[in-house]
Amino acid sequence: MELAFFDGTFIRPDERKVLLEDRGYQFGDGIYEVTRVYNRTCFALDRHLARCRRSLRELRIPITYMDEELAAIHHDIIKKSGIKDGTIYFQITRGVGKRTHTFPDQVVPLLSMTIRESKPNSEWQENGIHCGLFEDIRWLRCDIKTLNLLGNIFAKQDAHDKGLQGTIQYRRNTNLITEGASSNFFCVKDGVIWTHPADNLILKGVTRSILLEEIIPHLGYTVVEKAISPEFALSADEAFVTSTSLEVTPVVNIAGHTIGDGAPGKVTQSLLASYHALVKKACYEK
Ligand code: PDD
């Protein structure tokens, strides 16, 4: 059963609860996280909560929800919903106050959350996806997971309209790829894995960090955290995107150009298998 949490209580997701002068509603003034639930367990919740705290700090929203409290609400919503495999979305806004651009005094941050059933797209993981190339028109603090997503939404809608499954964005001024509209981008060339450095132009994905810190060192691949051009990506042997929802998903075509031999590559497949092994250990062998 889909379920939501709003300002302290569990409700149905379609109950009317948005407060008119919530700054999240009026300004997109807030942050969010998306976590995946496998076998009634939230995967990598500690990493998501750490990023949530960082996003709040960067937006100067006071931290009023402790990690333990947020973890407890995650556990409660999983239990009460009865959902075994799904996605949890939560957001914390600056709170409710009279509409002025500057931060209102004495405003209290507001937490809301939803849980829905979902599973990773195994067909995409087996066969790979086709991605379009889109100009990255987002602001210059993409490292903060804010509610403002119109740049990402435009890229996603354009891809959808073209019948594509994924998006790869590049900055026009530098002709360098940043990331997907809701994923991090990687390519593999001559055995080396390339991905954008975790600076202000990309979101430091939890899945990206897990690959770089917990998986790749064991597999022994070389990683270069350096921005690449679309031309370089098109000539890669393999490409893939990562996110909480996509896990590790091969990219077999970019802007109409086949990547490698058009099938998911060996490096990508080994990363996905290792990621699944980590999920199994964390969520099924507790
Ligand atoms: N998106 N880059 C962007 C712009 C993202 O929105 C996301 C996640 C990622 C990958 O981050 P992670 O590995 O922590 O999921 C990278 C989520 C899933 C979303 O917006 O639904």
pLDDT in tens, 3-48: 999 989 999 998 888 899 999 999 999 999 999 999 999 999 999 9
pLDDT at 18: 87
Q: How many residues does the chain have?
A: 286
Q: What angle do CA 275, 279, 281 make, to 5 degrees?
A: 115
Q: Is the CB of 33 under 6 A from ligand 1?
A: no
Residue 286 has pLDDT above 90, yes or no: no
Say if residue 242's pLDDT is above 90. Answer: yes
Question: What's the pLDDT score for residue 23?
Answer: 98
Number of domains the chain contains: 2
Are the C-beta atoms of residues 117 and 13 closer than 8 Å to each other?
Answer: no
Residue 214: give the domain boundaries: 122-283
Same domain, 249 and 136: yes
Residues 156, 255, single domain; the answer is yes
Report the pLDDT value the prediction gives residue 269, as an integer from 0 to 100.
98
Q: Phi then psi for 280, rounded to 5 degrees?
A: -60, -45
> For a pLDDT cut of 90, what percent of the chain falls above it?
96
pLDDT confidence of residue 17: 81
Q: Are residues 170 and 273 in the same domain?
A: yes
Last residue of a domain, one of 95, 117, 139: 117
Is the shortest distance between the CB of 165 and ligand 1 below 6 Å?
A: no
Q: In the predicted model, is pLDDT for residue 70 greater than 80? A: yes
pLDDT tens figures, 166-216: 999 999 999 999 999 999 999 999 999 999 999 999 999 999 999 999 999
207 lines ligand 1 (CB under 6 A): yes
Positions marked active-site? 145
| Cβ neighbours for 24, distance < 8 A, ≥ 6 positions apart | 30, 91, 93, 94, 110, 147
Q: 11-15, 75-79, 88-92, 231-235: which range is least confident on average?
A: 11-15
Which whole number is the average pLDDT over 239-267?
Answer: 98
Instruction: Indicate if ligand 1 lies below 6 Å from the C-beta of 179.
Output: yes
Closest to 186 (Cα-Cα) out of 144, 246, 134, 226:
226
Whether residue 242 sits in one domain with residue 269: yes
Amino acid 168: pLDDT: 98
DSSP letter string, 254-278: ETTEEPTTSS--HHHHHHHHHHHHH
- 258 C-alpha to ligand 1 centroid (Å): 25
Note whether 276 and 140 are same-domain residues: yes
With a cut of 80, say whether residue 238 has pLDDT above it: yes
Residues 44 and 154 in one domain: no
Lookup: tokens for 250:
């091969």
Do 102 and 15 belong to one domain?
yes
Q: For residue 159, what is the domain's CATH number?
A: 3.20.10.10
pTM equals 0.98
Give me the pLDDT at residue 240, please.
99
Q: Report the residue among 184, 204, 246, 275 best suited for mutation to probe ligand 1: largest number of ligand atoms under 8 A from its CB.
A: 184
User: How high is the pLDDT of residue 262?
Assistant: 98
166 Cβ below 6 A of ligand 1: no
Instruction: Give the Cα separation of 24 and 152 in Å (integer).
Output: 17
Measured by CA distance, the residue closest to atom 8 of ligand 1 is 182
Average pLDDT over residues 237-258: 98
Question: Which whole number is the average pLDDT over 218-225?
Answer: 98
In the listed set 117, 147, 174, which residue is the last one of a domain according to the structure?
Answer: 117
State yes or no: pLDDT of 1 exceeds 90: no
